[in-house]
Amino acid sequence: MDALNGARGRFRSFKRSDFEADWIKVAERRFGNVHRVKLKLWREECALKIFDTNPPENTLYRRMVDEAKEIAKGKTKYIVSIYGLCSDPAAVVMEFMANGSLDLLLTSHILMWPKKFQMIHETTMGMNYLHSAKPPILHLNLKTSNLLLDGHLHVKISDFGLIKWVEGPKKFMEHLTARGNISYIPPEMFIQCPDAPGTAFDVYSFAIVMWEILTQQKPYPGSSITTVLVRVSRGKRPRLENIPEKKPQECDQMVGIMERCWDQDPKQRPLFSGSQCGNDDVLLLLSKKDFQSFRKLLRREHTSMLFSDKNSLLHYTVASEDVMSVQSLLSLGADANCHSARGYTPLIIAVLRRLHEIVVMLLEHGAAANQADEDQWTPLHFASQNGDDTTVRLLLDNGAVPSAKEKAGWIPLHLACQNGHEAVVRLLLSRLSKDAIGEREQMRGRTPLHLACMYGHLEIAKLLLYHGADPNTTDGSLSTALHLSAEEGHNRVVRQLVKGGAQTNSVDTRGYTPLHLAAVKGHTGICRQLLANGAKADPRTLQGWTPIHLAALKGQAATALQIESQGGSVNARGESEWTPLHLACYHGHEEVVAQLLAAKADPNVTETTEGWTPLHLACSSCTLVSVLQLISHRADVNAANWSKAAPLHLAAQRGCVPIVQALLQNGADRTVQDSTGSTALDVAQKSEIQEVVQLLLQ
């Protein structure tokens, strides 16, 4: 477009013959179509916006040109350039925008946050240009479909000046609603006799455009014109919840500006013109990362400005990560200890982002190393959680208290141990007392050693033990570090704890030893290790379960066999006299049943609640393989429970044809009656299981 750009500032008259014949329609709007055409003289592409020639709309393009002539006297890259008029057809010759309108892009592409912020900034700059004219040029038709995108997705404003107030409020509103603009109309226009619109009208429309860019959604979806009118009149706006949760901190400042722009009171809305909206300009320059312009604009009064959630300009400047801008703001007297609504200080922001140079700068300007947020997290807590040992050292050297507790009683060492940050742990241990090393957090009463062992951080566990951490300290549920590491399957940590003096038979509030927890999770190697280091093979939980019971309950066959080989009893009785074999049969764990029977588990032992044998339970759970295993190990196929029911009764009731067959083939008595006088055949007939009935009748 170099040739056309050179012609900016004066208008040309075009006719159809000035363009090559292959016109390509690129957009179809209610009041006219847009074609991509090529000028013969310059071989340059441009856009031809053809307007409906039916009255009264045939004057629209002249209105547009009247405004554009004024714009063309200056220069800005944020407004679509207009090169002239075409009389046949009635059209405006414009700069061609390769990527069409923003509304289409928002529905077809997922935009990254920097691109969203850039688009908002460019729209602001374009509107600032229009409103800075003398008198201001009102757009009155600002919406995403009138924001066009060039080949690099930069925004330019089009279609300004088409709608006028001169025809009165009724005609004005008719023009707006006819173009589908209801979502962009401010509430003051819905009253009976509104004043002529001013710049605040465009500011409100811009707020809705901002919301669309941030959410990539349409406002008030599915709502009628009346519904939108009523909602907006009552102060309702598009939902802020639609803005994605995973958003950068800079988005908060955008939301704050947006909320001011759609204020119910037009007098409270900020202006686009730079002389009157410096507060917002500085934030927009930050979001654009135009740091040089930002520093030029800075004034001492900016240091005391507060934005959404009580964030100061220093908060946003630190978040921008530009060291020179932070230095400029601090040199103007910005308070290094100001805090947001959540209690975040600029130092906390710098720590979270690992901005070491800015951390040093803030500390040099008086930032308090121990000033905490609303949850009592200090900068040292954040640095320790992030594993930022450089910042941890800086904070400690500037007076940070290593034993500071946040609201739930966690000290920085808890966080470093939980997240496996060995270098940070070393630094903190060098500054902590032995008592602090054993500090408990409040919720579960866990020490740093508990956390390191639970998450399997071996080297940290070694460090803590070396510095005097007690391996037998219990948490709120009486669990030791050995309980937690055994349950999570951290073999090497278990070995280190045992070597460091951890008691292998300590019990928690449920009566569980570390061996119980390793057994229930199937950590066979840990079970072997614990048993080899003094763990009892058959300790009982409060319910009377041994480790083999729990291994059987969860189907851990190899674990059950390992414990049995090191002294565990396969016939131990737990709650209601249930043996491990009862549990394995009840839960259908065929492999465990086979292992227990091979280890000489008694197949005919009865529990005390119903008098069931393992075979009763295997039949009830319809586990054919276990039934066959039990029978092969001489289980009594006619054993009666307290209700005199035999395994055959249960198999018939469940409709397990293969099990019924297996029982009959192995001597099950089909004439046995239960306490109600019913045989297995009676049970099958009552349950209407015809296949079993036929089998029992044979």
- pLDDT per residue as tens digits for the range 361-409: 999 999 999 999 999 999 999 999 999 999 999 999 999 999 999 999 9
Residue 428 lies in a domain: yes
Type of residue at 412: P
Whether residue 251 sits in one domain with residue 124: yes
Alpha helices by DSSP H, 476-572 = 481-488, 491-499, 514-521, 524-532, 547-553, 557-565
Shared domain check, 306 and 198: no
Does one domain contain both 27 and 71? yes
**Helix, strand, coil percent content, the chain, rounded in steps of 5:** 50, 5, 45
Domain that holds residue 424: 369-503
If asked whether residues 131 and 265 sit together in one domain, one would say yes
Q: What is the pLDDT of residue 280?
A: 58
628-666 pLDDT, tens digit each:
999 999 999 999 999 999 999 999 999 999 999 999 999
Each residue of 19-44: pLDDT tens digit? 887 888 877 766 578 888 888 766 67
Sorting pLDDT into bands at 50, 70 and 90, what band is 89? confident
What tokens appear for 487 in the block? 């349950």
Residues 395, 294, single domain; the answer is no
CATH number for position 216: 1.10.510.10
User: Closest Cα to residue 408, out of 451, 470, 353?
Assistant: 451
**What mean pLDDT do residues 444-455 have?**
97
Cis peptide before 244 (omega within 30 of 0): no
Asked, for residue 280, whether it belongs to a domain, the answer is no
For residues 107 and 243, state if they share a domain. yes
Determine, yes or no, domain membership for 402: yes
In 10 A of CB 399, how many CB atoms?
Answer: 10
Asked whether residue 554 falls in the same domain as residue 664, the answer is no
Closest to 101 measured CA to CA, from 157, 55, 54: 157
**Residue 237 CA, distance from chain mean position:** 25
Q: 65 falls in which pLDDT band (50, 70, 90)?
A: low
Contact (Cβ atoms closer than 8 angstroms) between residue 210 and residue 254: yes
In this structure, is residue 430 part of a structural domain?
A: yes
Q: What band does 84 get if pLDDT is binned at 50, 70 and 90?
A: confident
Residue 282 is assigned to a structural domain of this protein: no
**Mean pLDDT, the chain, as a whole number?**
89
- 222 and 317 belong to one structural domain: no
pLDDT, position 635 = 97
Into how many domains does the chain fold?
Answer: 6
User: What percent of the chain stands above pLDDT 90?
Assistant: 63
pLDDT digits (tens, 9 = 90+) for 40-59: 766 678 888 887 654 344 55
Spatial contact of 563 and 542, defined as CB atoms under 8 Å apart: no
How far apart CA 86 and CA 106 sit, in angstroms, is 32
CATH number at residue 298: 1.25.40.20
| pLDDT in the model for residue 103 | 92
Q: How confident is the model at residue 261 (pLDDT cuts 50, 70, 90)?
A: very high
Quick one: 259 and 298 in the same domain?
no
Mark whether 53 and 23 lie in a shared domain. Answer: yes
- Are residue 253 and residue 114 in the same domain, yes or no? yes
Helix 113-131 vs helix 199-215: crossing angle, to nearest 10: 170
Q: Of the candidates 47, 70, 94, which is a domain's last residue?
A: 94
CATH number at residue 49: 3.30.200.20
Which of 475, 503, 531 is the C-terminal boundary of a domain? 503
Q: Read off the pLDDT of residues 577-592 as tens digits, 9 standing for 90 and up.
A: 999 999 999 999 999 9
pLDDT at 57: 47
214 assigned to some structural domain = yes
Q: Using alpha carbons, select from 559, 632, 561, 554 the residue that is nearest to residue 596.
A: 561
pLDDT of residue 192: 66
Task: Tell me what pLDDT residue 345 has.
Answer: 96
Which sign, positive or negative, has the C-alpha torsion 8, 14, 19, 23? positive
Q: Which H or E element spans position 14?
A: strand 12-14
In a shared domain, residues 494 and 554: no
Radius of gyration of the chain (CA): 39
Is residue 275 pLDDT above 60, yes or no? no
Q: Which of 60, 94, 128 is the last residue of a domain?
A: 94
Let me know if residue 535 belongs to a domain.
yes
Does 196 have pLDDT greater than 90?
A: no
In-domain check, residue 278: no
Beta strands at 44-51 and 24-29: parallel, antiparallel or unpaired? unpaired
How large is the average pLDDT for residues 314-343? 94
- Mean pLDDT confidence for 544-549: 98
Q: Residue 1: pLDDT band by 50, 70, 90 thresholds?
A: very low
The mean pLDDT value for 676-681 works out to: 94
